[in-house]
Amino acid sequence: MAIRDLIPWTKNQELAPVRDTYDPFMTLHREMNRLFDDVFRGFGGTSPLMESRFGWPRLELNDGDKNLTISAELPGMTEKDVQVEIANGVLTIRGEKKAERNGEGKYFTERYYGSFERQIPLEGVQEDRAEASFKNGVLTISLPKSDNPREGVKRIAINTH
């Protein structure tokens, strides 16, 4: 096999001709390209690293008999830093975590600061009866189930315990 066979395109960016024989190296090469394409797809949001790669904030969904409960971990944040709304069958959680620096000295951090947004499609819930609470860095949203969900935009107030 020639080195040229490992290159999937020519100088004109056209795909190389497909060969009829099975080549495990070409299969590996295509899978590696697909893997990198999947990792870097979606960059361009408010926080692409956290939204696309890690799905921050982390969510937990509990689909019970009567309620759908969604919990989001938001450590170091308060209910004032978060906004929750429902529009056209989509629950949106957005907010911003601000850096806690005083401006002196050198910093190394692995903590995340900045804006985030998560959207969760909803079906079969009573959007007008949604409730949200915030306790110990966890946002919990409860949505009663229904056969006839309502459309429109509704902002959900976040209660503290």
pLDDT tens digits for 28-76? Answer: 888 888 787 777 665 543 344 444 344 578 889 998 889 999 999 998 8
Q: What per-residue confidence (pLDDT) applies to 23? A: 78
**CA angle 145–153–53, rounded 5-degree value:** 80
Whether 74 and 139 have beta carbons less than 8 Å apart is answered as: yes
Q: How far is CA 61 from the centre of its chain?
A: 14
Cα 57 from Cα 118, distance rounded (Å): 7
Q: Say yes or no to pLDDT of 13 above 70.
A: no
Cα 86 from Cα 12, distance rounded (Å): 47
For residue 33, the SS3 value is: helix
CATH number attached to the domain at 54-160: 2.60.40.790
Q: Say yes or no to pLDDT of 5 above 90.
A: no
Tokens 């080195």 belong to which residue? 3
Sorted by where each begins, the domain ranges of the chain are 3-40, 54-160
> Which has more pLDDT, 129 or 161?
129
DSSP state of 42: T
